[in-house]
A = this chain, B = another copy of it.
């Protein structure tokens, strides 16, 4: 059974100088995977004719499907369209549907339409136009030597619209793709090497069409099984069988059987119990609340948060005694315990999380260096506090503290939940 191979080409200097992080490739890969198309290469190149032509040649020789993003805007640095027009032959012609789309968008914004915007409706006569309902640049679908090349804008929202509305529905009709299925087990509390040691026999005995990967991620270790096969049903059965075995070997450290973020793991737990949570955040500055509210439907269990960056706010809104702050400092066990109690009273929730720490780069001291964090979780009857010593930069210290703190409450509920 041959895999259908795809390449993603992203075009734009901003990707090469590190000004922009490429999130398009991951999104596209997820979508293609779900329909059994295997992205085996992703290439980013700059806004130069030579680099784009080389990438088209190379990826065209290695893959059946080549998805291209970027370089379709109305300004002079956007050169993808003329380069594609040369590469696939043909001349630029005005596309009526694309023109109406440009006019509609500019009218809707109450703005005059400039020549450079009208020019966005020009497309090579060798392509099929992929409509863009979300922006002015049309997509272009080319076929050559049995390969498909599709060019889309780099704006994520526009690219996603084209993929969902037009491209993804058409691909399964073209390719007889094998099934590619994934199943991921979330674990916590045991290092990668030790897990590998424990499941060594399982891993060795895996059939050749099922692959195991270890993905450490902020206090979690994800174990991903990927299965390839001729048809979806047989492949799914084989995958489920192996996944069941894997689970049985790791029951003591299993967090969830879905690949969901930590905020969703806690959300599922609270939803199942019909209980609620609030947070009191100093050093994470609202990031825990953000992770929790990123989950659709979180209003069912998340009440709110007090971000108490200043000590006066800890005192005024969370009832942390000024004497406690003075005696122990804001980053201390006594203060996070007072914060968790304060927010439980204020928000009237079943559980709460409180954090206080020093995220850096400044603010550390010999006794409390940068990366010192106190986390408290609990309910009205019982609270526990734990100290972490992190060693990352400010952003990662914040992200990791948030993930750890949510995990602490998860463990608390499983051990002490009422």
**A residues within 8 Å of B by Cβ?**
13-23, 25-31, 33, 38-47, 51, 58, 73-77, 111, 114, 116-117, 134, 155-157, 182, 184, 191-194, 196-197, 203, 211-216, 222, 224, 226, 259, 279, 281, 284-290, 292-294, 296-299, 302-310, 312-313, 316-317, 346-348, 360-363, 391-392, 394-396, 398
Question: Known: A290-B287, A293-B285. Contact between A42 and B16, CB under 8 A?
Answer: yes
The closest CB in chain B to the CB of A286 belongs to: B286
The smallest C-beta distance from A221 to any residue of chain B, in angstroms, reads 10
Contact residues in B for A30 (Cβ distance below 8 Å): 17-19
Q: Interface of chain A, helix or strand or loop or mixed?
A: mixed
Contact B33 A26 (CB under 8 A): no
The smallest C-beta distance from A271 to any residue of chain B, in angstroms, reads 14
Question: Known: A75-B192, A193-B114, A313-B303. Contact between A39 and B51, CB under 8 A?
Answer: no
Contact A73 B192 (CB under 8 A): yes
The smallest C-beta distance from A153 to any residue of chain B, in angstroms, reads 11
Q: Lowest 3 CB-CB distances: which A-B pairs, in order?
A: A286-B286, A285-B293, A286-B289
Contact residues in B for A39 (Cβ distance below 8 Å): 16-18
Question: Known: A114-B197, A213-B77. Contact between A296 and B361, CB under 8 A?
Answer: yes
Contact residues in B for A306 (Cβ distance below 8 Å): 304-307, 317
Contact residues in B for A215 (Cβ distance below 8 Å): 14, 19-20
Within 8 Å by CB of A41, from B31, B44, B111, lies B44
Question: Known: A212-B77, A362-B296. Contact between A286 and B309, CB under 8 A?
Answer: no
Within 8 Å by CB of A346, from B15, B45, B226, B316, lies B316
Contact residues in B for A347 (Cβ distance below 8 Å): 310, 313
Contact A76 B196 (CB under 8 A): yes
Within 8 Å by CB of A29, from B18, B74, B297, B302, lies B18
Question: Known: A41-B45, A43-B42, A287-B286. Contact between A259 and B294, CB under 8 A?
Answer: no
The closest CB in chain B to the CB of A32 belongs to: B18
A-B contact pairs, 11 of them (CB 8 A): A16-B39, A18-B39, A19-B222, A19-B259, A58-B58, A75-B192, A286-B307, A299-B309, A304-B308, A313-B347, A317-B346
Contact residues in B for A212 (Cβ distance below 8 Å): 76-77
